[in-house]
A and B are shown apart, each in its own frame.
Chain A
């Protein structure tokens, strides 16, 4: 791991630890506004990590910034940090200034759903791969709902029209749906690591029939399955992020296939990982007294966000069928930028 990545990860973890997550969660769970904790994220520059220096950002590489997304997942951060980070960067890439405050992002891949509709200051909208713009709060219509994590969401009937002067073209390498998919996959990976951690802790500490649950072979086998899915989702997210970064650095190629594979795999694994975690936690995991639900409920929400497995499987499947039998293997092993090397 690069020094920058480690530093960012540590900063994010320290902030999330200090943000007294318990309070944030309680606020969310009681339907209060959690965004009082937003300021700490802004003050520490997390929302501007990706922005170029001339735009007041830290010009951090995409891969390094995604370490923060993974940490946000590991803390089930109930704030639109990743959306805002990527939203601001997209707008800046289109030559637009970003409105202050938290942002929502709607892409071609996701459902027409935005988290925290009453809290965000604007909605970043990308209806096509190469255009992005923003619509201020109050200027788009939505219906209130909640996602799997119990967080408020706004359901849009269609992408809202972007007012004149508030949209611009994007380089093809900055496809909003691809970027959001890999970021969400990183968040899922982080949350899964936490769920695995909680589960291991639980089965080691919980004694039944005179021995820890971890001593039962049936339990060991289930934890192994869960750990396997968690590990593969982690390396898939990292590999897709590296592909996106290569595309961004070299201005060549396209990481949609890798991002789609990573998000499809991450969304798919949520079922098995949460199922086993709850099974092994027993009744206590099925309460709001234990922390587990904060992570499993977000996994259920995040697997649907930014393109669920159905969306990305179809996207990947279309690419595979289009490539034909002879092209399938090259599609699987291709690394973006390889064309440049050849």
Chain B
């Protein structure tokens, strides 16, 4: 018998001192802005949208942290960004205003955009002044993203868009949307002929935004319709036809981040606050069960972050973290629910958050890659398919 093959690489990683030192800076900023009434932890987690807080974070250099200074960034490492992100999540700070631009759209513009696009979009994103939405899914294309039908046809000086995007969070408020569209008709090559375009949501004709109220009763989803919407040439992102490669290249950043296991950390924190030394051994064990799983997930996530920092593309490992992380997040409200009942916890804060989290939980394992798709990616990484 030989040594077993190591199928997936998760090297243990520690965050460098420079990253650890940022923690207190973030905590101070959050404390001050909260005291000033800029934001409140309303239990909506990072999904809340607060332009004033985003501007404060931008002023402090916490948006676009890894980007070059000439585009408004602060040339920090990805691990430094990681610490800032997890501190924001743990504090339940509403960051959706800049979230998508900071996490995926900014990096895409930096990587594939023209010089003019970088100068035009990145500095205001980094200042926390410019908000982007992501236009990927369509009514008939959820997990099967390559089946999108929204098309962009050549016209004088640009492209003419027709079709619709769905689940487009905050399209009713964001200034821009980056949409994945077909610039060539479907062919045998499923992933060919797609491109990314930057659409000005506020100043373009032929755009209708239809609100979709989600299960918890909030409005962040939308369906966005394009009818002969004009997109100028200078808003094509990257090369025409390379859209698929461009969107998939950023997936590891999107999937392995701490938002995949910290989205309802505030519930666990509230539970721990409501319990005290008189908690039963059973309640202690349930808290320890959640905390130990969370700690282990973070160890895996930090490991992926270190791999990304080292220039690797750990797509399989990222899919794995997203799968386990979101399943953990779904277990949190169920376990907390039992503890609350068994211990007779009457704390209003816990009960309110629990109620909200139960309603939000079904989304965790769907958005950003459904569980079954992610497991398929892991299986492919293990060479089963």
Contact = CB atoms under 8 A, between A and B. Distances in A.
A97 interface: no
A313 B15 CA distance: 25
Contacts of B385: 214-215, 220
A325 B4 contact: no
6 contacts: A200-B7, A217-B376, A232-B10, A241-B12, A316-B292, A320-B272
Interface stretch (A44-52, A130-138, A223-231): A223-231
A232 B378 CA distance: 13
Given A200-B7, A220-B385, A341 B17 contact: yes
Contact of A235 (B2, B4, B303, B376): B303
B291 interface: yes
A223 B379 contact: yes
A291 interface: yes
Nearest to A219: B384
Interface string B291-320: 111111111101100000000000001001
A231 B300 contact: yes
Contacts of A328: 268-269, 272, 291
Nearest to A204: B384
Interface in A196-212: 196-197, 200, 203-204
Label chain B's interface by main secondary structure.
Answer: helix
B355 to A, nearest CB: 18
Interface in A239-276: 239, 241-242, 257-258, 260-262, 264-265, 268
A197 B8 CA distance: 11
B266 to A, nearest CB: 9
Nearest to A74: B4
A118 interface: no
A283 interface: no
Contacts of B14: 242, 335
A90 interface: no
A111 B229 CA distance: 70
Interface in B63-93: 86, 90
Given A232-B324, A332-B291, A224 B382 contact: yes
B217 interface: no
Contacts of B6: 193
Given A313-B288, A314-B284, A232 B12 contact: no
Nearest to A236: B296
B287 A220 contact: no
B20 interface: yes
A324 interface: yes
